[in-house]
Amino acid sequence: MALVNENYLKLQSNYLFSDIAKKVNSFKLTHPKEAIIRMGIGDVTQPLVPAVLEAMHKAVDEMGTKEGFHGYGPEQGYPFLVDAIIKNDYAARGIGIDAGEVFVSDGAKSDTGNIGDILRQGNSVGVTDPVYPVYIDTNVMAGRAGALENGKWSDIVYIPCTAENGFVPDIPLRRIDILYLCYPNNPTGTTLTHQELEKWVNYALANDVLIMYDSAYEAYIRDPDVPHSIYEIKRAKKVAIEFRSFSKTAGFTGVRCAYAVVPKELNGFTLNGEKVSLNKLWNRRHTTKFNGTSYITQRGAEAVYSPEGKEQVKATIDYYMINAKILKDGLQSCGMTVYGGDNAPYLWIKTPKGVTSWKFFDTLLYEANIVGTPGVGFGPSGEGYLRLTAFGDREETIEAVERIKKM
Ligand code: PLP
């Protein structure tokens, strides 16, 4: 008899996007003629840039020749991509990263979800609240979350990020072993300054906390005081793993390529207090359970760093950030309170006084035919907010603002 991992059973009632889909489907049944604008799920809409396409076409052609065929590649990624990552994402910012510290993968979702494999079940986990749900759900699966009580998992430490604290998390009173930070933040679209992030690195250093730093939206940063990498903070390599993705940087949500940096000087501990290299453990996990991102994909990702690739990708990101500005300016001009959108493709909208996230979601859907994401779906501190994304087409973004103005 195969016994199941019963932790999975705890998750069933907790799936935000299927709840949204159900509501949208029932709206469509009763309003078949209305044109819906989807600003809910955070997928991109603009096509891959020409430099990436060209590189991938070339790689496909290579694969059709005896000399250019590539079978299994190095699980950690081809040196051509790892070198491009180190040179452009780190060395260019004065950060030294060794080739053995970079692990190319098929996505930051997989990486942030799988990283828990190398950590003991009994660790206590802290998350900023609201939060990208993957950090919580994967810890529920691993048995680290306890029981769900009033919308919170009993063994997870929730660190509120709301307008009241300027979306800057405070150090928690309860001890945590693992902390997830995501900046620029999904869902709030807010960021931390260098000094604010330094506070967390110092806290982690003083308390032996492991930071999982997800910077999937790094490419959207405009403000020079916002760090692009946690390793811009001194000694952060001793406490942090960093996750990056080509999904939002270069439209790879359907292509799939990302990477994790696991520094060699970063240690975990055995119960007896002996140090263990997390780099070695992750390498073992990665090479055992993952067989590498495809050659064609990695050639595409490499092209993101070519001079043309950089320019083209920047143009797409600028396109989304102009959408963000149009949305933010438009909503503010109707008297709405809007956060984010300056260094991130997400806008975090305060619902009108006394209106819940789900009620506001319904109002937007029924009165403006716009689909957002109710803030409470990202955690208890998301109640009273709604997330809109700037990943849509320009025309739809302008149309969405017009519809909201008429509401
Ligand atoms: N991390 C955050 C914070 C995200 O918002 C997302 C996607 O929405 C991901 C990771 C997933 O990225 P990927 O497409 O690389 O799996």
Q: How far is the CA of 32 from the centre of ligand 1 (A)?
A: 32
Which atom of ligand 1 is found nearest the CA of 42? 8
Looking at this protein, which amino acid is placed at residue 245?
S
* 2 lies in some domain: no
Minimum-distance ligand 1 atom for the alpha carbon of 182: 3
292 contacts 74 by C-beta, under 8 angstroms = yes
Asked which of 307, 331, 359 is the last residue of a domain, the reply is 307
The answer to pTM > 0.85 is yes
What distance in Å separates the CA atoms of residue 364 and residue 388, rounded to the nearest whole number? 11
Residue nearest ligand 1's atom 12 by CA: 108
**With 0-12 CB in 10 A as exposed, 13-18 as middle and 19+ as buried, what is 163?**
middle
Cβ neighbors of 265 (< 8 A, separation 6 or more) are 237, 238
What pLDDT does residue 219 have?
Answer: 98
Q: Is the distance from the beta carbon of residue 113 to the nearest atom of ligand 1 less than 6 Å?
A: no
224 lies in some domain: yes
Same domain, 330 and 365: yes
**Ligand 1 centre and the CA of 110: distance in Å?**
9
Query: Quick one: 165 and 217 in the same domain?
Result: yes
Identify whether residues 354 and 245 lie together within a single domain. no
Distances 154 to 82, 126, 149, 158 between C-alpha atoms, Å: 40, 11, 7, 10
Residue at 272 is within a domain: yes
Cβ pair 25, 45 in contact under 8 A:
no
Distance in angstroms (rounded) separating the CA atoms of residues 224 and 233: 14
Instruction: Check if 109 has its Cβ closer than 6 Å to any atom of ligand 1.
Output: yes
Residue 187, domain extent: 54-307
* 104 and 14 part of one domain: no
Q: Are 304 and 52 in contact (CB under 8 A)?
A: yes
Ligand 1 geometric centre to CA of 107 (Å): 7
Secondary element (H or E) of residue 85:
helix 79-85
What's the confidence (pLDDT) of residue 13? 66
| CATH number of the domain enclosing 340 | 3.90.1150.10
* Total number of domains in the chain: 2
Any ligand 1 atom below 6 A from CB of 340: no
Whether 3 is covered by a domain: the verdict is: no
Assigned domain for 399 exists? yes
Instruction: Count the Cβ atoms, other than its own, within 10 Å of residue 143.
Output: 15
Kindly state if the Cβ of 127 falls inside 6 Å of ligand 1.
no
Q: Kindly give the distance from the C-alpha atom of residue 132 to the centroid of ligand 1, in angstroms, as a whole number.
A: 8
Residues 289 and 155 grouped into a single domain: yes
Taking the C-alpha atoms of residue 383 and residue 211, their distance in angstroms, rounded to an integer, is 26
| Atom number of ligand 1 nearest to Cα 247 | 14
- For a mutational test of ligand 1's pocket, the pick from 247, 293, 304, i.e. the residue with the most ligand atoms closer than 8 A to its C-beta, is 247
Q: Which residues, 6 or more positions from 260, have their beta carbon under 8 angstroms from its beta carbon?
A: 102, 103, 105, 108, 111, 115, 241, 242, 243, 244, 282
Residue with CA closest to ligand 1 atom 2:
216
Rounded distance from Cα 30 to ligand 1 centre (Å): 33
The verdict on the CB of residue 108 being under 6 Å from ligand 1 is yes
Q: How far is the CA of 161 from the centre of ligand 1 (A)?
A: 19
Q: Give the end of a domain, one of 251, 274, 307.
A: 307
Q: How far apart are CA 320 and CA 206, in angstroms?
A: 39
- Identify whether residues 117 and 250 lie together within a single domain: yes
Q: 142 and 99 in one domain?
A: yes
CATH number at residue 86: 3.40.640.10
Cβ(287) – ligand 1 distance below 6 Å:
no
210 & 285 share domain: yes
**Shared-domain flag, residues 267 and 383:** no
**91 plus 37 within the same structural domain:** no
32 and 67 assigned to the same domain = no
pLDDT of residue 407: 86
Q: Which residue's CA is the nearest one to ligand 1's atom 5?
A: 186
pLDDT values of the chain reduced to their tens digit, one per residue, 407 residues: 999 999 999 986 667 888 899 999 999 999 999 999 999 878 999 999 999 999 999 999 999 999 999 999 999 999 999 999 999 999 999 999 999 999 999 999 999 999 999 999 999 999 999 999 999 999 999 999 999 998 899 999 999 999 999 999 999 999 999 999 999 999 999 999 999 999 999 999 999 999 999 999 999 999 999 999 999 999 999 999 999 999 999 999 999 999 999 999 999 999 999 999 999 999 999 999 999 999 999 999 999 999 999 999 999 999 999 999 999 999 999 999 999 999 999 999 999 999 999 999 999 999 999 999 999 999 999 999 999 999 999 999 999 999 999 98
Any bridge partners for residue 96, and if so which?
A: none
Cβ–ligand 1 contact at 365 (below 6 Å): no
User: Residue 166 CB: number of other CB atoms within 10 A?
Assistant: 10
Domain boundary among 282, 307, 332: 307
Pocket test for ligand 1, best of 43, 188, 245, 257 (most atoms within 8 A of CB): 245
Are residue 240 and residue 200 in the same domain, yes or no? yes
